[in-house]
Every structure is written in C-alpha cells, then in structure tokens.
Amino acid sequence: MRSTTIWILAALVVIVGFVWWFLSNDQKEPVPTPSQVETKAPGDYFPATVGSTWTFAGHGNEYAAFTREVLYARGDKVQLQENNGGTISASVYQISDQAITRVFFQGEEYDEQDRLDAEPNESMVILKAPLQAGTTWETGAETRQIVRTDAEVETPAGKFTDCIEVEITGEYSQRREYFKEGVGLVKREFTSEGTQVISSLESYAIKE
C-alpha cells in the first residue's frame, strides 16, 4: 500500500512539473514587427544639415551632371542650391514624419538668398511614408510609387544597398530616383522615347 502511495505521489510531482513548465513558456505565436525601413521617416533619407554637399556625374545630357548644397535650414525647412553648369536654382523642402515636400522652386537664382520664408509656389511630394513598396501618390500630372526598399545602386561614389527606389511616371516619360538612408539621393534615371539620362552620385559630404 505504501509503495502504491509513493508511485502516486511521484506521478503527481511529474504532472505538476510538466504543467508548470508548459505555463511558464509562452506558447503564443510571435507578433510580427514592422520592417526596419517601415519604422523610419522620409527625413532619414534626406540629410538637411547646412554645408552638406553632393556631386553627381552625368550621362546622356550635358546638364545631367550637377552639384547640390544645403544653404539654409530652419525649423522643418531646408534650402538646397543646385548647379548643373547651365543654371543655378533654389529649392525649399519641408520635412515631416510623413513626407518630404518641395514647397518652393526658383530658377536662375544666383545670389544665394534665404528663401525659407518665401511664399510657397508648389507642393511636390518627393518621398512619402510609409516607406514600403506599393506606397503611391500623385504629384501634378505624375504618379510616384515606391517600388523597392532594398535596391542596390552602383555609383562612382560606391555601391549603396537598401536604397528606396521611387518610380515617377508621366504621360511621355518615366524617372527613377534612389535614396539612401543618411546620404539622400544617390541616383536619378530619366527615360523618354528611347532617350536615357542618368545622374549618379560621384562624391558627397554630410555635415554633422
């Protein structure tokens, strides 16, 4: 009788131990988390520190090569100067958690005037959240869509991985722009009726 009792107690200990082990281990399915890109904001792909510069090599057009420089930054706005050897322009971009929007553009801008507080003359969204393939928006007569977030881009400045690729489709042309986190625009491709113009990053310096 005593032997039977011992076996019953032993069995109970084993059962209790198994139940404790089962309950102490989370048996729920893991909750999927957003991809690393989806948790980032458009501004992470658009450096806005004054003095930052980019130089692009060009192919297919004499104005495909150009330089960019951040001249002014204040609040949520940044002003870039772009020089393609034929003209110098000023662009003001507004940066938010949801989008990078060009709100002002002025061609033939040679005096480097601060335009951050100028009256907006356009609203062109360059990059929009969520930063995932399929995100689509309209900019005037063009449609923009993020088609990849893991693009690999070869440029004279080196190879960039995990770039956001944006396809811009118009009535008669198509463009592709590639953005790298912490660097900004690294490549731009323009195609229309068999003509292709490419601007690729040659060198850059991002100020802290």
Q: What is the pLDDT of residue 14?
A: 44
Q: Tell me, which fold does domain 42-205 have in CATH?
A: YmcC-like fold (2.40.360)
| Residue 187 amino acid letter | K
pTM: predicted TM-score of the whole model, two decimal places: 0.81
What integer pLDDT is reported at residue 39 of this predicted model? 80
Q: Which pLDDT does position 140 carry in this prediction?
A: 86
Please state the domain extents for the chain.
Answer: 42-205
Please give the helix or strand (H or E) that residue 72 lies within, else none. Answer: strand 66-74
How far is the first Cα of the chain from the last one, in angstroms, to the nearest whole number?
A: 82
Weakly modelled stretches of the chain, pLDDT under 50: 1-2, 6-7, 9-11, 13-14, 16-23, 26-33
For residue 37, the model assigns a pLDDT of 60
